[in-house]
Amino acid sequence: MTETDLSHARAVRIERFGGPEVIDLADVAVPAPGAGALLVRTAFASVNPVDWKIAEGKYPPLGKDKLPIVLGRDLSGTVVAVGAGADAQIGDRVCAFIDTDRGAQSTLVILKPGEAVAVPEGVSFEDAGAVPLAAMTAWQGLFDHGGLEAGQSVLIHGGAGGVGHIAVQLAKWKGARVIATASAKDLDFVRSLGADQVVDYKAERFEDVAHDLDMVYDTQGGETQDRSFGVLRKGGILVSTLDPDAAKAEAMGVRTVPRWHASPDAAALRQVIDLMAAGTVKVTIAKAFPLDAIHDAQAFAQHEHPRGKVILTVAPD
């Protein structure tokens, strides 16, 4: 494999399910891009909780029959080859949220027709590679599933996290009133994102400050979700990035959305990238690790309570 060899890539791969020990770097074959598809040399790929859930065999869409699996769902990079009729050119700067049939933590990645979003001047490759999955999770949860509108109120749990820090900004952009929970060390950060009110979830009960809300955006599940139904107005909605308790929602006279997984949506991602170019949405990157340090990157993201996103530096220009 050389810099100019486009038929092989170095990728973060699992051949079986388990802990960090199953994650390895492997040389993988890369197909030539088919009609309308692009081959991208990855600059930055993002690290997400779904990576270790997949590795542990705890992500239902990817069962044993899908092994071996290359990890990673989102990236930025430069187009190095194009399929017939593709609407991009070699050298274009793009980012994408890709389906689970490929992995983004790889030096070369195929983008299917319609997946790539141009990265404009004014948006860094780092930010463009960090944000697609988190932004689509925030967007789809708040707007597509939750129907958040201007003038409504929303409680966002985990406002300093990868998803939460984007959700706070998107909800404010929409014109909602935002209450967000975070740890004490992150309260000023979450305020700086535009949150109208912040709650130190370890020191205060969010129920003491949040009442009659239109929406809860839950990134925590468990006890946090359980206590959240009570802060909604009758008919309000709880949208969870994890498992929502539909029976509890019904009993409390509120709504919820069945379990969903964020999915690629280039049109929505393009809007987020435009908001980033305009300075309306700012991405926070806690730390970048080289691709070879994937174990350190995952351990940091999983255990060190980073603010915002963790990314892998793959092959920056």
Ligand X SMILES: NC(=O)c1ccc[n+]([C@@H]2O[C@H](COP(=O)([O-])OP(=O)(O)OC[C@H]3O[C@@H](n4cnc5c(N)ncnc54)[C@H](OP(=O)(O)O)[C@@H]3O)[C@@H](O)[C@H]2O)c1
Interface with ligand X includes 161 (CB under 6 A)? yes
CB of 252 to ligand X, least distance (A): 19
Contact 70, 110 (CB under 8 A): no
Distance between CA atoms of residues 146 and 1, nearest Å: 46
| Residue range at the interface with ligand X (CB under 6 A); choices 10-18, 25-33, 88-96, 254-262 | 254-262
Contact residue for ligand X among 66, 192, 261, 278 (CB under 6 A): 261
Interface with ligand X includes 224 (CB under 6 A)? yes
Interface with ligand X includes 231 (CB under 6 A)? no
CB of 8 to ligand X, least distance (A): 30
Interface with ligand X includes 181 (CB under 6 A)? yes
Q: Between residue 119 and residue 158, which ones bind ligand X under the rule CB under 6 A?
A: 134, 137, 157-158
Prior bond of 68 cis (ω within 30°): yes
- Name the residue nearer to ligand X (CB basis): 204 or 212: 204
For the record, the structure tokens of 69 come out as 């699996």
Interface with ligand X includes 58 (CB under 6 A)? no
Q: What b-and-e string marks burial along 29-65, b requiring 16 or more CB atoms within 10 Å of the CB?
A: ebeebeebbbbbbbbbbbbbbbbbebbebebeebeee
Question: Distances from the Cα of 190 to the Cαs of 166, 171, 223, 301, in angstroms?
Answer: 10, 13, 22, 18
Contact residue for ligand X among 164, 236, 244, 264 (CB under 6 A): 164
Interface with ligand X includes 110 (CB under 6 A)? no
Contact residue for ligand X among 160, 190, 198, 210 (CB under 6 A): 160
Residue 177 backbone phi and psi in degrees, to 5:
-95, 130
Contact letters for ligand X, residues 68-107 (x by CB under 6 A)? ----------------------------------------
CB of 4 to ligand X, least distance (A): 35
For the record, the structure tokens of 229 come out as 């139904």
Comparing CA positions, the residue from 81, 88, 96, 43 lying closest to residue 315 is 43
DSSP string, 144-196: IIT---TT-EEEESSTTSHHHHHHHHHHHHHT-EEEEEE-GGGHHHHHHTT-S
Contact letters for ligand X, residues 17-56 (x by CB under 6 A)? -------------------------------xxx------
For the record, the structure tokens of 124 come out as 């860094």
- Name the residue nearer to ligand X (CB basis): 92 or 218: 218
Q: What angle do CA 16, 19, 22 make, to 5 degrees?
A: 40
CB of 56 to ligand X, least distance (A): 12
Note the residues at the interface with ligand X (CB under 6 A): 48-50, 134, 137, 157-158, 160-164, 181, 183, 201, 219-220, 224, 241-242, 260-262, 305
